[in-house]
């Protein structure tokens, strides 16, 4: 459903009534309202009305109000999966992961402000923080699958799952710092997070970065 409705170019036949809107349109309208008034002060009715659709239709595009800010996340996962697979096997696992995560989280200059507001919602609003866990699970699976493949072991085992959780933790911590400090570079924060983890495991006392 999602893939079809968002697939605007290269549409083949399309019989039946045309969709009245798109995921992107609703998402954009909703995000604007969330930022203006705050997540809890906006009802699904508000979003539907502002998008010119019925409340019932909203729930055909998004399974819940919480899913709205995530937008096209699943597509990006495929990108990361491919990027990981394309990295040379000679690259140590930790570097492959680090590089893929940095690339995956690179934001084009133009979308910076928008992305910042979106991530502020996702990492600030309790309801969204909680709901995000489900999206993170899919993200972790990409990492775990890659680790499993590289080490020739079951991706559901302790090592791949643990490494996936560690990578996720480093990423979220970096994002939180990025939001807290206007001037910081997300890529640098991610690198520093990996270093802090390495130091913790290596040195008696990690450098206080």
Partner DNA sequence: ACTGTATTGGCACTCAGTGCCGAAGGGAAG
Partner DNA sequence: CTTCCCTTCGGCACTGAGTGCCAATACAGT
CB-CB neighbours of 195 under 10 Å: 16
State the DSSP code for 19.
P
**157 sits near its own copies (criterion: CB under 8 A):** yes
- Residue in 7, 24, 37, 63 binding DNA, rule: CB under 7 A: 63
Of 119, 165, 179, 187, the one binding its own copies by CB under 8 A: 165
The nearer residue to its own copies, 47 or 174, going by C-beta atoms, is: 174
Footprint on residues 109-148 left by its own copies (CB under 8 A): 126, 129-134, 137
Sequence-ordered list of residues with C-beta below 8 angstroms from that of 203, at least 6 positions apart, any chain? none
Q: Is 207 helix (H, G, I), strand (E, B) or coil?
A: coil
Burial of 92 (0-12, 13-18, 19+ CB in 10 A): exposed
CA distance 193 to 163: 14
Site of interaction with its own copies (CB under 8 A): 92-94, 126, 129-134, 137, 150-153, 156-159, 161-166, 168-170, 172-174, 176-177, 180, 189, 192-194, 196-198, 200-202, 204-206, 208-209
Site of interaction with DNA (CB under 7 A): 1, 4-5, 13-21, 42-45, 52-57, 59-61, 63-66
């Amino acid at each position: 459903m999602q893939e079809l409705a968002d697939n605007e170019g290269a549409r083949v036949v399309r019989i039946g009534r045309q969709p009245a809107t798109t995921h992107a349109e609703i998402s954009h309208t909703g995000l604007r309202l969330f930022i203006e008034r705050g997540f809890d002060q906006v009802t699904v009715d508000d979003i539907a009305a502002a998008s010119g659709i019925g409340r019932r239709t909203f729930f055909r595009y998004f399974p819940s109000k919480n899913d709205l800010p995530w937008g096209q996340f699943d597509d990006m996962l495929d990108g990361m999966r491919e990027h990981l697979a394309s990295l040379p096997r000679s690259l140590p696992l930790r570097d492959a992961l680090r590089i893929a995560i940095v690339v995956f989280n690179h934001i084009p200059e133009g979308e910076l402000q928008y992305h910042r507001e979106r991530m502020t919602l996702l990492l600030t609003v309790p309801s969204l923080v909680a709901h995000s866990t489900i999206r993170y699970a899919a993200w972790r699976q990409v990492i775990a699958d890659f680790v499993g493949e590289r080490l020739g072991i079951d991706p559901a085992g302790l090592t791949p799952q643990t490494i996936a959780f560690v990578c996720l933790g480093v990423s979220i911590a970096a994002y939180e710092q990025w939001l807290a400090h206007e001037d910081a570079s997300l890529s640098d924060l991610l690198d520093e997070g990996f270093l802090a983890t390495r130091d913790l495991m290596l040195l008696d006392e990690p450098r206080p970065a």
